[in-house]
Amino acid sequence: MPDREHALERLEYLRGEIEAEQISMSELSELANLTEFIDPSDVVLLQWAGVPEFDEKDDGHEWLVMCPYCLCEPMDVTNKDECYERIKSRAEEKGYA
């Protein structure tokens, strides 16, 4: 594994080859092997190195699982009866029951 200084020099060289539209397959392979040295904000080198924009398991969003019975806050009820009681008490509080 190259030292950091050498890796950064190579990355700048490879950037020049990309900009000149003359990067070779072996240089693309080298770029892929240098991904740990690429600045996380350097979109150009990351894309050319084949690094996915987001972890495939993480689409960049925080998804919340809503209760399928009352669509309330994130699901923390594992029992339909508990959820029913929660719906009933909320309805009573609002004067619907």
DSSP calls for the chain:
---HHHHHHHHHHHHHHHHTT---HHHHHHHHHTGGGS-TT-HHHHHHTT--SS-TT--SS---PBPTTT--SBP----HHHHHHHHHHHHHHTT--
Q: What's CA 45's distance to the chain center, in Å?
A: 18
Confirm if 14 and 30 have CB atoms less than 8 A apart: yes
**Per-residue pLDDT for 77 more than 50?**
no
Q: Is residue 53 assigned to a domain?
A: no
Residue 23's contacts (CB-CB under 8 Å, 6 or more residues apart) are 14, 17, 31, 48
**Same domain? 43 vs 69:** no
23 pLDDT band, cuts 50/70/90, is very high
**Confidence (pTM):** 0.55
The mean per-residue pLDDT over the stretch 70-97 comes to: 65
Q: What is the pLDDT of residue 85?
A: 75
Q: Quote the number of domains for the chain.
A: 2
Q: Is residue 54 assigned to a domain?
A: no
In tens, the pLDDT along 24-76 reads 999 999 999 999 999 989 999 999 998 877 655 554 544 444 455 455 554 44
Q: Is residue 55 assigned to a domain?
A: no
Instruction: Give the range of the structural domain holding residue 30, as residue numbers without chain letter.
Output: 4-48
Q: Is residue 66 assigned to a domain?
A: yes
